[in-house]
Amino acid sequence: MSNYFPNIDKIKYEGTGSKNKLAFRHYNPSEVVNGKTMKEHMRFAMAYWHTLTQDGSDPFGAAVNERTWLAADKMETAKNRVEANFELLTKLDIDYFCFHDLDIAPEGDSLQEFYSNLDEIVELIEGKMKSTGTKLLWNTANMFTNKRYVNGAASSPNADVFAYSAAQVKKGLDIGKKLGAENYVFWGGREGYETLLNTDMALEQDNIARLFKMAVAYAKEIGHKVQFLIEPKPKEPSKHQYDFDAATTMAFLYKYGLQNDFKLNLEANHATLAGHTFEHELRVARSYNALGSIDANQGDLLLGWDTDEFPTDLYSCVLTMYEILENGGLAPGGINFDSKVRRSSFGMDDLFLAHIAGMDTMARAFKIAVKLKEDKFFDNLVKERYKSYTTGIGADIVAGKADLKSLTEYALKNDKVVNESSHIEYIKSVLNDYL
């Protein structure tokens, strides 16, 4: 076992009375709720990129993060990161992790060199997964950082770029199969456009669908039983991203007949950028039976970009967890912390403190959501609000027994409509009592 965190032992649950910063106060992995342990419910995952490769630089400032695994040689750093990854997972009691190909190995000077760097690191990861019992929630290909992707990946006007993307996806699926990944994610950061003036939108979207179909076919061919996920985001780095939000992505999947092969990996901060609450995105996905997994984080409503903060907003997390509960959980998906420490939280120990904060918040939110469900808090509100559809003319409408003529006849006799107040403020106030 490596020791990048010599002063930190395995994090334990100590309860709300604990003053120990390095302890869970709400997340008790072995606590049984609704017949399953909290660990089984939560399926937490750590994001390799934010945790192990992020350096704390921003467009105005240099790297600040203390990261003792950095070495002069890129492959040496990559190997050290593998050690640190599994030390973090084990000490944080997190079973899953997620990565982009580029997070785990340097690209080198050719695609062939990238492949062999990946093979070397994947071998190490496989060994560590076996010895620690950790699992890969999902992997993906980074098809947005390298300059070749300046005009997109599958949506690039340059067919050579499409081919290169395909080669990355193929390798990603081979790696996923070797490591037993439960999902494969597509996040199309550069699959969008800068201006319509020179864009063939139809061809670009057809090509994205072509790559998705090739991926589904290849996974089948190699016997990799994986759930494919698309992660919507409206913009950044693209000015307009095609997978704008859950609804737009579902329309895309249906248009190309891919709705049975893909579900959605939804991210809180992406919802904010699309002008939605996170629970809206989850509800839309649920209505299509397409809620697959989540990237847990939060944005800042005063900033217009993807800040990827660790989730600590209890209110929003409760509504998120309620949707997940209604979905019957997320498996084979999970809760991936696509979250990064703030620039001023540059210490090595902050990686622990931030994950503990996120895990405690999500666990606490889950237990509150369970209580809301037990009390039928939302169920009763909705039942009462739509009761006019359970009898009389409403029941006829729902049963398909009404038409414009019968409804006109009814309306002529009942034209003094009486509505009921929703008492929204009261509802919100009672909801607060649960927090």
Chain residues binding ligand XUL by CB under 6 A are 100, 140, 185, 187, 231, 233, 267, 295, 306, 338
How near is the Cβ of 45 to Co ion at its closest, in Å? 11
> Per CB under 5 A, does 103 bind Co ion?
no
Instruction: Sketch the per residue contact string, 233 through 272, with Co ion: x for CB under 5 A, - otherwise.
Output: ----------------------------------x-----
How near is the Cβ of 361 to Co ion at its closest, in Å? 18
* Residue 262, number of CB atoms within 10 A of its CB: 23
What Cα–Cα distance (Å) separates residue 423 from each residue in 342, 372, 381, 420, 430? Answer: 39, 18, 10, 9, 11
Closer of 29 and 189 to ligand XUL (Cβ):
189
Residue with the CB atom nearest ligand XUL in the bound state? 187
Selecting among 103, 245, 306, 360, the annotated active-site residue is 103
Give the contacts of 408 (CB within 8 A, at least 6 positions apart): none
Please state, in angstroms and rounded to a whole number, the distance separating the CA atoms of residues 326 and 319. Answer: 11
What Cα–Cα distance (Å) separates residue 158 from each residue in 74, 125, 149, 204? Answer: 30, 34, 10, 11
> Per CB under 5 A, does 204 bind Co ion?
no
Contact 191, 203 (CB under 8 A): no
Closer of 242 and 377 to Co ion (Cβ):
242
CA 186 to chain centre: 11
Contact 271, 245 (CB under 8 A): yes
How near is the Cβ of 338 to Co ion at its closest, in Å? 4
- Candidates 90-98, 289-297, 371-379, 395-403 — which segment interacts with Co ion by CB under 5 A? 289-297
Query: How many residues at the interface with Co ion, by CB under 5 A?
Result: 3
- The one-letter amino acid at 323: E
How near is the Cβ of 190 to ligand XUL at its closest, in Å? 11
> Per CB under 5 A, does 281 bind Co ion?
no
> Per CB under 5 A, does 308 bind Co ion?
no
What Cα–Cα distance (Å) separates residue 141 from each residue in 169, 269, 297? Answer: 6, 21, 21
> Per CB under 5 A, does 309 bind Co ion?
no
Closer of 245 and 338 to ligand XUL (Cβ):
338
H or E stretch at 250: helix 246-255
**In the numeric block, which tokens belong to residue 313?**
């907003």
> Per CB under 5 A, does 338 bind Co ion?
yes
Contact 50, 81 (CB under 8 A): no
125 binds, among Co ion, ligand XUL, none (CB under 5 to 8 A by kind): none
- The one-letter amino acid at 11: I
Catalytic: 280? no
- Residue 277, burial from CB neighbour count under 10 angstroms (0-12, 13-18, 19+): middle
CA 236 to chain centre: 16
How near is the Cβ of 2 to Co ion at its closest, in Å? 27
**In the numeric block, which tokens belong to residue 107?**
């690209």
How near is the Cβ of 419 to Co ion at its closest, in Å? 42
Please state, in angstroms and rounded to a whole number, the distance separating the CA atoms of residues 159 and 230. Answer: 22
H or E stretch at 357: helix 349-374
Catalytic: 100? yes
Closer of 28 and 155 to ligand XUL (Cβ):
155
How near is the Cβ of 245 to Co ion at its closest, in Å? 14
**In the numeric block, which tokens belong to residue 264?**
């959605």
> Per CB under 5 A, does 295 bind Co ion?
yes
Residue 128: DSSP 8-state: H
Closer of 267 and 323 to ligand XUL (Cβ):
267
Please state, in angstroms and rounded to a whole number, the distance separating the CA atoms of residues 339 and 336. Answer: 9
281 binds, among Co ion, ligand XUL, none (CB under 5 to 8 A by kind): none
Selecting among 100, 270, 276, 280, the annotated active-site residue is 100
> Per CB under 5 A, does 95 bind Co ion?
no
Closer of 98 and 359 to ligand XUL (Cβ):
98
Closer of 182 and 267 to ligand XUL (Cβ):
267
Contact positions vs Co ion (CB under 5 A): 267, 295, 338
**Could you list the active site residues?**
100, 103
